[in-house]
Chains A and B, each alone.
Chain A
Amino acid sequence: MTLTSERAIIEVEQLSKVYGALPALQGLDFSLARGEFVALLGANGSGKSTLLRLLSGLSKPSAGTVRIGGWELPREAMAIRAQIGLVAHRPLLYENLTARENLAFFGRMYGLQAADCEARAKTLLRQVGLPRRADALVRTFSRGMKQRLSIARALLHGPAVLLLDEPYSGLDKSAADSLDDLLAAAQQDGRTILLSTHQLERLPPAAGRALILSRGRVAYDGALEASELAAIYQSASA
């Protein structure tokens, strides 16, 4: 699915990534509209994490172009980084800092003023349900709490695009439900969300579109509620 440039915030054209002789992504073409919530599906090794690393500027494409907010990677990576919030496999937090200290540090890394950062951190900690643990060391947090703090970190600088790599991994039902609420709120704030998962049975309720990857290619790009989605996914994962 491709969109006109005015509506699209992420535009990917003929994107390929090769590790040595191994193709991880092959000629991807798609775009995401502003405020859209897309579930990126695919079996392990289908190229989901590689795609998210490329979109976040952590990795460079072997071929093709990626434009985010009109800027092109990797040439304008600095401008794009300010527009991206990434929730990765790992929480990307410092275990020996408190939740508040982590957010203060990342706020400085994103050029936020101290007072502004403190106010945003306070609001986000409340939104993710961690206001009482603000001054506790992250190493004392459960997996679900780290995940919620990781989302607060990713949202701290007000990114237009939120990328999430398998955020449900290791979360119990209650934590996964609160993650769904947070993501729905982020979408309501106008953020574009691309969330990867290999669990078809645990899809974010707020997502309206699915992008299925199979062996580095787009196997399906369409409505999430499509009745044939399960069959397409099974076939793509085989």
Chain B
Amino acid sequence: MKTSYLETVLAIAGKDLRVELRSRELISVMAIFALLSILVFSFALELDRAAREETVGGVLWVTLIFASLLGLNRSLAQEYDLGNLDALLLAPAPRSAIFVGKFAGNALFTGLVGLLLLPLMTALYGMNLLDGRLILTALVGVFGFCAVGTLLATMTAQTRAREALLPIAMLPLALPFLLTAVRATKGILTGAAEWQVWFQLLAGITVIYFVLCLLLYGYVVEE
């Protein structure tokens, strides 16, 4: 008896979706945090249009990364606190499939919060963020840092100080995403052609991080 790779991924992602639809513990916390964050930034940065174009990318990505940290912490803590990570590891399923399943749920929830942020920020900041290129950049960025976040949250969920430890471990690793995503976003908003270069860098970093996380997950969950 052995579970297929795809079946494992779908089972875990489907389970996470079902649990979240029932409890709304992750998305509600992430969305409320993200909303408050962009509101605070909009009051704090009373900027003219040129200054807004410079800063709105940073606001978007910092908000999204901090919101995802909240969700990642909760998502893996739910597995660890009730011993369910052990239950997943007991199954005759590839470790990397368990990683992809958990990652898929986390990326879906963070991606939804990101998609919610774009129209809200369009309204609040008076700039059109509902651009296909920006949505694509947001999804690629979310994909990348949720991969790193899923791996790190699995490690920190087993510690007492996980709420503090995850940001400390995650933020240095999220810097390449933050830097490239902010530059790509700024390029899209200002109409600069260089956004493509930053987007390609972001996509490259995302692929490398995802593959590394996939390979390392088995070592992380086993002693």
User: Out of A79, A81, A92, A97, which one reaches B19, CB within 8 Å?
Assistant: A97
Which B1-50 residues sit within 8 Å CB-CB of chain A? 1-4, 7-8, 10-12, 15, 18-19, 22-23
The segment from B88-96, B142-150, B204-212 that touches chain A is B88-96
Q: Given A60-B223, A81-B92, A101-B18, is A108 in contact with B82 using a C-beta cutoff of 8 Å?
A: no
Tell me, rounded to whole Å, the shortest Cβ–Cβ distance linking A187 to chain B.
21
Q: Given A110-B1, A111-B1, is A56 in contact with B90 using a C-beta cutoff of 8 Å?
A: yes
Which B62-89 residues sit within 8 Å CB-CB of chain A? 82-84, 86-89
Cα of A108 to Cα of B223 in the assembled complex, Å: 25
Cα of A108 to Cα of B101 in the assembled complex, Å: 13
Say yes or no: is A123 at the interface (Cβ < 8 Å to chain B).
no
Which A76-100 residues sit within 8 Å CB-CB of chain B? 78-79, 81-82, 84, 86, 88-97
Chain A residues with Cβ below 8 Å from B11 are 105, 108-109
Tell me whether A111 and B15 are in contact (CB under 8 A).
Answer: no
Cα of A90 to Cα of B10 in the assembled complex, Å: 25
Chain A interface category by residue count: 20 to 34
Tell me, rounded to whole Å, the shortest Cβ–Cβ distance linking B24 to chain A.
10
Main secondary structure of the interface of B (DSSP, over half): helix
Tell me whether B1 and A82 are in contact (CB under 8 A).
Answer: yes
Cα of A57 to Cα of B3 in the assembled complex, Å: 17
Cα of A140 to Cα of B166 in the assembled complex, Å: 31
Cα of A145 to Cα of B13 in the assembled complex, Å: 26
| Chain A to chain B contacts (Cβ below 8 Å), 23 pairs | A60-B222, A79-B92, A81-B92, A82-B1, A84-B90, A86-B86, A88-B86, A93-B84, A96-B19, A96-B23, A97-B15, A101-B18, A108-B3, A108-B7, A108-B11, A109-B3, A109-B12, A109-B93, A110-B3, A111-B2, A111-B92, A153-B87, A157-B1
